[in-house]
Amino acid sequence: MSHSNAPLNCFANIVVISMIPTIFFVSMLLGYINIIPINIPIHALLIVGFILFIFFLFIKHNANYSICKMHASYSKMENKLKTALDENSLHLNQTNKSILDIDEFLKHHYADIRNDNFVSVASSVFPMLGILGTFTAIAISMPNFSVTDTKALDGEISLLLSGIGSAFFASIFGILLSLIWTYFEKRGLSKIDKFFYTVKDDFKPYIWSKNELNIYKFEQYKPKDEKFITALKETFNLDFIEKLNVQHQNSYKAIMDDTNSSFKLLSKHLEHISNELKESLSQIDNAKNSIDAREQIENTISDFTLATQSFEKTVKIHSAQLDTSLNRTFEKIDTEIGDIVIKLADFATHVSLESKEVQDSIGKYHFMISKQLRVK
């Protein structure tokens, strides 16, 4: 892409943008000097000339003029762009390119060519100036209606209508300037976009694209991911987990076997205790040797307590290895055993009371016999 520094050539853009407004003003000037048959008063000509002057001040901010300035300063921009590319260079895969955001660079570099604030209000300023000029012209040309003569009044009305007609030229001129400004602004913006695209395309081989940077990033992450996966496989070895599961199953089976044995042993102790309790009850019912029955009951309770303590020790040894279901089972068994112990204690108390009554009866019987013997 070839560019040349020719700032004077941009004057042609000013001429093109201002050509129609200038022709309009010249036509009003010719009407004022009676060269063409248009009645233009001096104040209307001055108002239109003032609006045209404001338009000339805005022209340098129009996009159609700005694109010319961009082309004219291309070499200067190119040198700065190359310097910026070197300052933001990045060496990847034996290739050296830049990571510069060329869009931001172009916007920053050409930010001082035109004022965006003027551009944003230009299309609305000219119609407003035209309307203001119209009302100003009407106010200036307003005649004096204090006359009493009919012919003079008709002359004043004719003067007013003539002034109003010429005053509307200011509004027409303002609307015309707004249309011309908008047309050249849109056309210039299209040229600026094309210019930026051409610059980016020229320097594209020297700048890393987003896709290239993403590919390089993924290439850098791939070995790390593979190492991470390998470390996970080594850490969580399936053979080790399988052996661990087998050992856990064997330990669980051994615990269950010990628990079953403990239950069987407990059942035998309970059966033995039940038989002894039956024998004790039989001795009490037969009222034979109540003291021996009491001792047997106490021995039975002692044996039961020892059996319970033995069972509790067994449970404590294996309780840490049992799961939640076994803990619930032991809690239920402890509750039932506690109920049995309470019942046995109540029974022992009852037996003790009955044994005391038997002893009291025997004592009374011996006392009566002794008394009868003494009487005889």
Say if residue 188 is in the same domain as residue 293: no
Whether residue 2 is contained in a domain is answered as no
Q: Token pair for residue 251?
A: 């330990």
Write the CB contacts of 235 (distance below 8 Å, at least 6 apart in sequence).
none
- How confident is residue 194, by pLDDT bands cut at 50, 70 and 90? very high
Whether residue 233 is contained in a domain is answered as no
Domain termination residue (choose one: 205, 227, 249)? 227
Q: Provide the pLDDT for residue 328.
A: 64
Say if residue 84 is in the same domain as residue 214: yes
Domain termination residue (choose one: 175, 203, 227)? 227
Quote the crossing angle between the two packed helices 116-141 and 150-202, to the nearest 10°. 170
Whether residue 284 is contained in a domain is answered as yes
Domain tally for the chain? Answer: 2
Say if residue 339 is in the same domain as residue 282: yes
Q: Provide the pLDDT for residue 59.
A: 93
pLDDT tens-digit map of 124-148: 999 999 999 988 888 877 655 555 5
DSSP 110: T
Say if residue 121 is in the same domain as residue 54: yes
Whether residue 281 is contained in a domain is answered as yes
**Distance of alpha carbon 270 from the chain centroid:** 67
Question: Mean pLDDT in the chain?
Answer: 75
- How confident is residue 1, by pLDDT bands cut at 50, 70 and 90? very low
Say if residue 331 is in the same domain as residue 303: yes
Say if residue 259 is in the same domain as residue 137: no
Burial class (CB in 10 A: 0-12, 13-18, 19+), 122: buried
Higher pLDDT, 149 or 251: 251
Say if residue 163 is in the same domain as residue 257: no
For 269, the domain range is 238-375
pLDDT tens-digit map of 63-89: 999 999 999 889 999 999 899 888 888
Whether residue 33 is contained in a domain is answered as yes
- How confident is residue 348, by pLDDT bands cut at 50, 70 and 90? low
Say if residue 60 is in the same domain as residue 31: yes
The answer to whether the Cα torsion of 236, 239, 243, 248 is positive or negative is: positive
Is residue 277 within 8 Å of 348, Cβ to Cβ? no
3-state secondary structure 271-296: HHHHHHHHHHHHHHHCCCCHHHHHHH
Say if residue 242 is in the same domain as residue 209: no
- What b-and-e string marks burial along 325-351, b requiring 16 or more CB atoms within 10 Å of the CB? ebeeebeeeeeebeeeeeebeeebeeb
Higher pLDDT, 115 or 177: 177
Write the CB contacts of 81 (distance below 8 Å, at least 6 apart in sequence).
102, 105, 109, 199, 203
Q: Token pair for residue 246?
A: 């087998």
Say if residue 88 is in the same domain as residue 220: yes
Domain termination residue (choose one: 173, 202, 227)? 227
Whether residue 205 is contained in a domain is answered as yes
Q: For residue 347, what are the CA distances in angstroms to 281, 350, 357?
A: 10, 5, 15
Whether residue 291 is contained in a domain is answered as yes
Write the CB contacts of 161 (distance below 8 Å, at least 6 apart in sequence).
none
Say if residue 134 is in the same domain as residue 15: yes
Write the CB contacts of 102 (distance below 8 Å, at least 6 apart in sequence).
81, 199, 200, 203, 207
Q: Provide the pLDDT for residue 341.
A: 58
Q: Provide the pLDDT for residue 53.
A: 96
Whether residue 232 is contained in a domain is answered as no
Is residue 48 within 8 Å of 21, Cβ to Cβ? no
Say if residue 172 is in the same domain as residue 60: yes
Is the pLDDT score of 177 beyond 80?
yes
- d(Cα 347, Cα 5) in Å, to the nearest integer? 121
Q: How much is the average pLDDT of 163-177? A: 85
Write the CB contacts of 266 (distance below 8 Å, at least 6 apart in sequence).
307, 311
Show the DSSP H helices in the chain as ranges.
11-32, 42-59, 63-72, 74-87, 102-109, 116-141, 150-202, 210-235, 238-285, 290-319, 324-375
